[in-house]
Amino acid sequence: MRGRFITFEGPEGSGKSTHVQLLADRLKAEGRKVLVTREPGGTCLAEKIRSLVREELDDPPVTRSEVLLFLAARAQVVSQVIRPALARGEWVLCDRFADSTFAYQGYGRGIDVGLLRNFNDFATEGLMPDLTILLDVPLEVSRVRLAERQAATSTAADRIEQAGVMFHRRLREGFLELAKADPARFAVIDSSGSRESVADAVHAAVGRLVDGTGIGGKSR
């Protein structure tokens, strides 16, 4: 039996990495085989691409190059990691996937989303998630969380996190538009609440997927 493919999306500071791991732990406790990966990343080549697109470089990628780098990393992780795991019957949880390209490079950078979808279909051979968890967070909360994380880890904001307020506002609005257009796949969860309440909402959305009752809508 083919496994399930669940992706986590959201603005910076929405808690994706935390809730990917919390869900993975919960699913494993229920006896499921789970593989966790991330984008860009998940393979040796894709991790090198991650460094190129996120670090502050003397020669940063132009927008079209940025798109192609993300897609190259995605093609690699889909072929080498995600599809083989699904074929083994495993549950794959991915921290970001195609919707990040549509939101960041489409709504954020201004590239035609229809064109991005065509490129993405080529990179993934048409693979789409069974469920996408969109962790939504207001811009003000996002900025505070980013500052706290950087202070706690003694790291500076990366190239994408440094994009201006208007970019990140377009980004959030883009994610919400994507979810509105595909309610059967998206579960929109307000991640400004407690970690426990958000984790419970994520698990409930996964439960609806398992039960076959659909996703559709917001958990607020």
d(CA 213, CA 161): 37
Return the half-sphere exposure (C-beta side, CA atoms, 13 A cut-off) of residue 98. Answer: 27
pLDDT of residue 116: 98
pLDDT of residue 136: 96
Among the four given CATH numbers 3.30.360.10, 3.40.50.300, 3.40.718.10, 3.40.50.150, the one describing domain 5-219: 3.40.50.300
Residue 68 has pLDDT above 80, yes or no: yes
Residue 220 has pLDDT above 50, yes or no: no
Q: Quote the percentage of the chain above a pLDDT of 90.
A: 71
Residue 180 has pLDDT above 80, yes or no: yes
Compare 140 and 78 and report the one with higher pLDDT: 78
Model pTM? 0.89
CB contact at 8 A, 178 and 103:
yes
Closest C-alpha among 204, 70, 193 to residue 136: 193
User: In the 8-state DSSP scheme, what is residue 62?
Assistant: P
What ranges do the domains of the chain cover? Answer: 5-219
pLDDT digits (tens, 9 = 90+) for 121-158: 999 999 999 999 999 998 888 777 777 766 777 676 56
Q: State mean pLDDT over 156-179.
A: 83
Q: State mean pLDDT over 24-52.
A: 96
